[in-house]
Amino acid sequence: MGIRFILMVNKQGQTRLAQYYEWLTLEERRALEGEIVRKCLARNEQQCSFVEHRNYKIVYRRYASLFFLVGVDNDENELAILEFIHLLVETMDRHFGNVCELDIMFHLEKAHFMLEEMVMNGSIIETSKANILTPIQLMDKAS
């Protein structure tokens, strides 16, 4: 299936965005987020960007105060996911201009729109920033 979930969590451990591509109950989500946030946030810069958790892998990347955590199947290409995170950040950057945690927090819906253009059902659907942002720009223009 590829990507199972994408989380954005700040360094205090607060979830800023959560998108799951498999159904988990609220309890399962809470437990999962708690466990992996604890695991990943404790790691330092010298450690690698991959953490094994249960039967999948977390590929994560930190940008200033915000962590991007992507849960993938064990046989997924880790570096491709790692750069996909960066692509996501660059895309948000192009839209918001110098994106920061607050942009995502207060424009949750836009972050969701972008993500929706990039990933569907756990598979990458689009990697061209222009194509990803077209619908949002259309909407901004319309309003």
Q: Which of 30, 38, 64, 137 binds another protein (CB under 8 A)?
A: 30
Site for another protein in 45-104 (CB under 8 A): 46-52, 55-56, 73-75, 77-80, 82-84, 86-87
* Nearest C-alpha neighbor of 73 from the set 100, 94, 55, 49: 55
- Helix/strand/coil percent split, the chain, to 5: 45, 25, 25
User: In whole angstroms, what is the distance from residue 142 CA to residue 62 CA?
Assistant: 34
* Paired tokens of 7: 């989380």
Residue 10 contacts residue 67 (beta carbons within 8 Å): yes
Shortest spacing between CB 64 and another protein, in angstroms: 16
Beta strands in the chain (DSSP E): 3-10, 15-20, 50-53, 56-63, 66-73, 119-120, 123-124
The count of chain residues that interact with another protein, using the rule CB under 8 A, is 62
Shortest spacing between CB 51 and another protein, in angstroms: 6
Closer by beta carbon to another protein, 20 or else 100: 20
Q: Which of 35, 65, 121, 137 binds another protein (CB under 8 A)?
A: 121
Question: Rule CB under 8 A: which residues touch another protein?
Answer: 1-2, 15, 17-21, 23, 26, 29-30, 33, 43, 46-52, 55-56, 73-75, 77-80, 82-84, 86-87, 105-110, 112-113, 116, 120-121, 123-131, 134-135, 138-140, 142-143
